[in-house]
A = this chain, B = another copy of it.
Amino acid sequence: MDYNRRIQKVKKMMEGKADYLIVGPSSNMLYLTGFVEEPMERPILLVLGDRDFMLAPRMYMEQLSDLPIELQTYNDGEDPYSYLNLRKGASLVVDDSLWSAFLIEIVNRFLPSNLLRGSVLMKKLRAIKDREEIEIMMEGLGIAEASFHDLINMIKEGETECEVGRKLEMIFAEHGVVPSFSTISTSGPNTSMPHLRCTDRRIRKGDIIIVDFGVKYRGYSTDTTRVLSLGSPSKEVMEIWSIVDEAVNLAEKVQFGLSGREIDNIPRKLIEEKGYGKYFIHRTGHGIGIDVHEDPYISSDNLEVVERGSTFTIEPGIYIPGRFGIRLEDMVIMNEKINRMNSLSRELYVI
């Protein structure tokens, strides 16, 4: 990856908009420098402006010796902010996920005149993937799909939801990858809660199971959802599943040129026409790359055209509280039209 090119690109975008860009340990830091660390209470800050440098605890000195920009270290117990030297009253662009603790120290000390969200600059830059990024994501997706395939035959009646999720995460580990987010594996009535991870509920005959899973591979994320049924699915499940599957199909036929809002509206309209509009309680999808959720968002508040080279999910769902929910999720890329990245069948897996 050409980090210097990325840094110069973002500096160009800052011109006339902001004096400094401040990036914490995040996917943006990884994107711009190749280095990332878990966020923690010691500040690690990439600062672009009149002086471009990385501020980090001294203990990182050896580890950061081949950083693409200047390194400024501080000792434990020293005041790290004294090294920032930001001009008072400047305009700052701040990494979206930078901890507020650091921003508060910076604001209280350097009294900036203006604070902008880092995504304003970074989202366009990161949404459009180059060939190397797409190849990595396709490889990661292949591993995630192979892992899911292994899992299908290993799910047993009487197991808890969390046991199923852990099994999949162990298969990931055997493949040398980690989950890109805590696997969602819910069953029966729990499937109507789209972001519930798992519970100790035991899977019984007749249950459907939603598995929403992804891996982190060479810094990039995957995200896919499939539905299984332990024994034959009911007529109602089949009906709802068919509608959601059709909604995904429709969205995946989209040609280049539509906004996030317009793409979001395609499966939504279908689900509304079928009478389930009020049970589709989230957006249609989200961009994916280093982060599991990033630009472009396929939602009603994104009025911008989804650019060529963007990778994102299509994941409509119908959730009937207390009964069950169905969501199907593919990863796609916008070229002249939407192309599917997944090769895994979207069928209702009967086990």
Contact residues in B for A147 (Cβ distance below 8 Å): none
A195 touches B97 (CB 8 A): no
How far apart are the CA atoms of A94 and B107 in the complex, in Å? Answer: 13
Q: Which of B76, B182, B193 contacts A63 (CB 8 A)?
A: B193
CA distance A126 to B212 in the complex (A): 33
Report how many copies the assembly holds: 2
Partner of A115, one of B108, B192, B195, B283: B108
Roughly how many angstroms separate A297 CA and B57 CA in the complex, as a whole number? 15
**Residue from the set A37, A282, A300 with the largest chain B CB neighbour count within 10 Å:** A282
Do A37 and B195 have beta carbons less than 8 Å apart?
A: yes
Q: Which of A9-17, A170-178, A234-242 contacts B (4 or more CB under 8 A)?
A: A170-178
Say yes or no: B104 contacts A282, CB within 8 Å. Answer: no
Task: Identify which of B62, B99, B100, B103 contacts A321 (C-beta below 8 A).
Answer: B62
Let me know if A98 and B96 touch, CB within 8 A. Answer: no
- Residues of B near A294 (CB, < 8 A) are 41
Asked whether, in the complex, the Cβ of A38 is within 8 Å of the Cβ of B181, the reply is yes
**Cβ–Cβ < 8 Å partners of A107 in chain B:** 107, 115
Contacts of A98 in B (CB 8 A): 99-100
Q: Is A157 an interface residue (CB 8 A)?
A: no
Q: How far is the CA of A108 from the CA of B37 in the complex (A)?
A: 29
User: Does A154 belong to the interface (CB within 8 Å)?
Assistant: no
- Highest count of chain B CB atoms <10 Å: which of A100, A101, A105, A192: A100
- Shortest CB-to-CB span from A29 to chain B, Å, is 13
Q: Are A100 and B108 in contact (CB under 8 A)?
A: no
Do the beta carbons of B100 and A63 come within 8 Å of each other? no
A234 to chain B, nearest CB (A): 21
Question: Is A196 among interface residues, defined by CB-CB distance under 8 A?
Answer: yes
A211 to chain B, nearest CB (A): 16
Given A41-B96, A100-B102, A100-B118; 4 other pairs, CB 8 A cutoff: A41-B293, A77-B300, A95-B100, A101-B117
Mark A residues whose CB is within 8 Å of B. 24, 37-41, 57-60, 62-63, 75-77, 94-105, 107-108, 115-119, 162, 166, 169-170, 173-174, 176, 178, 181-182, 192-196, 281-283, 293-294, 297, 299-301, 319, 321
Provide 11 A-B residue pairs closer than 8 Å at the C-beta atoms, listed in order of the A residue: A59-B281, A59-B282, A63-B193, A63-B195, A94-B100, A97-B99, A100-B118, A107-B107, A108-B115, A166-B176, A170-B170
